[in-house]
Amino acid sequence: MDQKIPLLRAHEKLEAALSRLCAPNFLVDSHLAVNLQCFIVDRTFFLKRQDLEITGRILYENVLEDSSIRLSDRILSFVRAVEDVSSRLGTSCKIRLVEGSSSQYEITAKAEKVSLAADYHFLLMELMQDIAAQYDVAVLFHEKPFATERNSLMRLDWSFITSEGSNLLHLQGCNFLLLTLVIAVIHAVYEHQGLLGACVACASQDSRLGDYKVFSPVMCVDAGAELNLVIQKLLRQKDFDLSEIVFSSSENLKSKAFCVFTRNGFSFQGFKPLAQLSFFMSAIQSAVADSLELILDELSGSFRLPVLRKRLEEAQSVIFCEHIPSSKSDFHPRVFESFLEQKTMRCFGKVLNENELGLCHAFFLKHYAKEMLIEAQLMARLFRTQILPEILKNSQQRQIEAPSFPIEKTIQVFDELDKVLEASRDLGEEIQAKLFFEIGVPLMISARQFCKSF
C-alpha cells in the first residue's frame, strides 16, 4: 500500500491534467506494458551457489564457475506452465529466448492500466518463482547475475488511451495535442531527471561484474528522427503549419536514450528487473502532470506555439541525443537527495507530502546501504571459507611455495573491508550509504580483480 496509494494519486493528477488539455469531461487513462528479462538456470547449480541464492547473482567473476547454467529441455515445460497459469489469472504473457543467449529470456506482458500493470508485474514474478521449483529450475531477476552474459533489463511502454480506445500518442499526423504531450514528457525528464534517476538507482549498478555486454541508457529523450525535425522547426521558426507535416511508418526502436518515443507511446528503458516500478510510475506521471500544468497555465488563444517553444528551449539539454554514446552510470547515493528538493515537492503535490518524501529518501538510502552490506559480508565469507582454502589446497598439491595468486594483498583488502563494515554499524543511512560507495565499492572491485587471477 505504501507504493499503491501514491501510484493511484499520481494517476488521478495526470488524468486531471490530460482532461484539462483535451476537454473537461474527456476521460484518458495511462496504460503500461511491462517487458522484462530474466535468467533461468538449473536449480541444483543455483542451490550450490550461496551468492546466487542470497543476492541473485555471482559475486566473483570467473571463480568457481559452472557450465550448468546451460538449460535443459525442462525449460519448455516451465515456459508453457507459466504462460498457461498467467493466462488463467488474467496476467497473460509471452516468454521467449533472448537472441544470442543460452539462458536469458524476455517476458512480454499485455498493456493494462498503470495500476493494474504494476500489480500484474509483481504477481507474474512471484508466479514464476513458485512454478520454477516444480520444474527444478531457478529464475534470476537480478540486473547482471553473470559476468559473461548481457545485463537483464526492463522496458516500460507507456501510452495514453481514451475511453473510446484511441491512443493520443499514436503518430499518424502532427497536431497540437500530440506535440504538447511530447514536449510535456521532454520537459518532465529535464526538470526531474534527478528524481527519475533516483527511482531506478541501485547498489548493484555501482558494483556490477564489469561492463561486458552492459546497456546503460543516457538520461535524455529520443523523440525519433521525424519528431526531432518538428522540434527543430519549432525552435527555429516562429510559425509553421503542423498539418503539413507527414510521417512515415518507421518506428524508433533502437536508441541509447532513457526515454524513447516509439510512434505509439513512450518507452522507458534501462531498468533493472527488480526496480521500484510503482514508485517510478508515480514519479513520471506526477512529473508529466506538473509539466502539463505549467504549459496549460501559460496557454492563451492562438499564442500556443511560443509557449511550447519556451519549454523546449529550457529542455534542450535532454533532447537530440541520437549520437550520444551510452556509458556506465554510477548512481552515487547523493542522487537520492533529489527527493528533498523543492521542485520534487511541487511535482508530488497531492501525491506525497514533505514528510512522506523524507521517508522515501530514508528508505532508498537504507535499501542501497543494506544491499551493499549484504554483498560485502558475503564476499568476505565466500573468500575465507571457499576461495582461499581452495587456493591453498591447489598450491600444496602443486608444491608451489609462492603462488601467483596475491594472497597477502587480497587478505589485506578484506581486512580493510571488515573495518568498513564494523565502522558502518552505528551510522545513519545517509553516511552509511556514502561510506559504502566511496570506500566499500573500490575495495570490493579490488578483491574481485585479485580473485580473477586465480
- Res 328: pLDDT: 45
**How far apart (Å, rounded) are the C-alpha atoms in residues 295 and 180?**
8
How many CB atoms are located within 10 Å of the residue 370 CB? 15
Superfamily holding 4-352: Glutamine synthetase/guanido kinase, catalytic domain (3.30.590.10)
pLDDT digits (tens, 9 = 90+) for 302-318: 567 888 888 888 888 88
Whether pLDDT at 355 is above 90 = yes
- Res 214: pLDDT: 57
Whether pLDDT at 67 is above 70 = no
Phi, psi of 381 (to 5 degrees): -70, -45
Domain boundaries, the chain: 4-352, 369-452
**How far apart (Å, rounded) are the C-alpha atoms in residues 169 and 192?**
21
Whether pLDDT at 193 is above 50 = yes
Whether pLDDT at 180 is above 60 = yes
pTM: 0.87
- Res 248: pLDDT: 54
pLDDT band at 331 (very low <50, low <70, confident <90, very high): low
Q: What is the mean pLDDT of the chain?
A: 81
- Res 215: pLDDT: 57
Residue 308 · residue 299 · CB < 8 Å: no
Locus of grid cell 488524468:
15
How many CB atoms are located within 10 Å of the residue 449 CB? 14
Average pLDDT value for residue range 326-330: 46
Phi, psi of 377 (to 5 degrees): -65, -40
Average pLDDT value for residue range 88-97: 85
